[in-house]
Structure 1
Amino acid sequence: MTTNLVECINSVLKGAGNLPVLALVRATYYRLNEFFMRKSAETHERKRAGFTYFVGNIVVHRFDRWNEVFEVREMTSGKVLVVDIARRTCDCGHFQVERIPCRHVIACCANQRIDCQLYVHDVYKMTEVRKVYKFEFTLLGDAETWPAYGGPTLVANPALRRTLKGRPKLTRYLNEMDSHDMHGPRICCLCGAQDHS
């Protein structure tokens, strides 16, 4: 798995990288459509099956009478964390950042017989996820049947075009090691002439 967006897109478009622009756009469009169809089917299946979470090897201790603050101990690592359900915080930090109950919050909810779905942000609920995939892609059809483009005409800047003749220009930033190249040609210390060492 990669976190670099360019590498991610390159892996998705493997094999389509050397295509012309129109074919690349068409390939991207169809792959995106296939992705949305697959994710739509997955979310419908999860909703139908009643997707549930499971947490094990965690001991929960209640520390207030309102059932809001808990001490959670992981049996495998021995870590002790504080979970405040009312403030939606957990010492692990995942609950605050992702707005999804982490395993510690799920363990506290299971201990108190509370539905942990109450603490999931609305964006992540299955009803909202299904709304994302409810729209359908329209078919592209033949390029000749598309409406005429009425926007601005793009003109390529000739100064940005690569020249194929000659040695390529230096594109890196110069540093102190390159300073002798910036002072001109080398001069022989014996005879004072250039172009020989």
Structure 2
Amino acid sequence: MTKAYRKDEFDFFWNQVGKIDKRVKSYLEDAGFEKCARVYALVNRGRMMTSNIAECINGKLKRARELPIIEFLEQVSASSTYVYSVYDDGRKYIVFLDRRTCSCGRFQLDEITSERAIAVLKSKHVVDMKPYCSEFYYPETLRKTYEESMFPMPDKKDCIVPQEVMDEVVLPPKYKRQPGRPKKNRHKKSSEAMTLSSNCCGRCSYAGHNRHTCNFFPKED
């Protein structure tokens, strides 16, 4: 519900919350939707950027690349100079390049070029996609964050600590560290496709299992 880009999606999950626990629904209603929901936020909230945006685009255009050139162009066809219709998973989306908006809601709320807008820009042979992205994602904006000088801290003996800080008691963490070596790999989101095993079965030639666990052919008595 908090990550919804459209109000109709938010309303759908909002009704589900009321069915689960009405106390949570009343609490969020009193707190205000602008504090917990992306679609009602007073400022545009960003999202985590990953390095696999190219794989996402290729996955969306996988079916279209197998079509003839004319049918491929119809998948991403322009109705005017700045308004385009993009078909994705059997659904039609409207992309406005001049307004930098999309009917899915991600283009205008995240202020970063979505995969559907990138598909439209590539069809127009646009190389520089920087104007269609917020300046908060620019490398020079990130460098400005650290252009201020960092002054060294004085010696601990010269620090003047307030009495309320000295009286503060720091307790150990409530959670307990699990045994074993901690994982270093990135936690994948549910929207990312899971990578299947490269092993192939010797009986049916399909990936993901071996001949001992194959269920494609009926087992002999």
TM-score bin, normalised by smaller chain = 0.3 to 0.5
With normalisation by structure 1, the TM-score equals: 0.43
Considering Cα pairs closer than 8 Å and 6+ residues apart, tell me whether 1 or 2 has the greater RCO.
1
State the structure with more CA Rg: 1
Per the normalisation by structure 2, the TM-score is 0.39
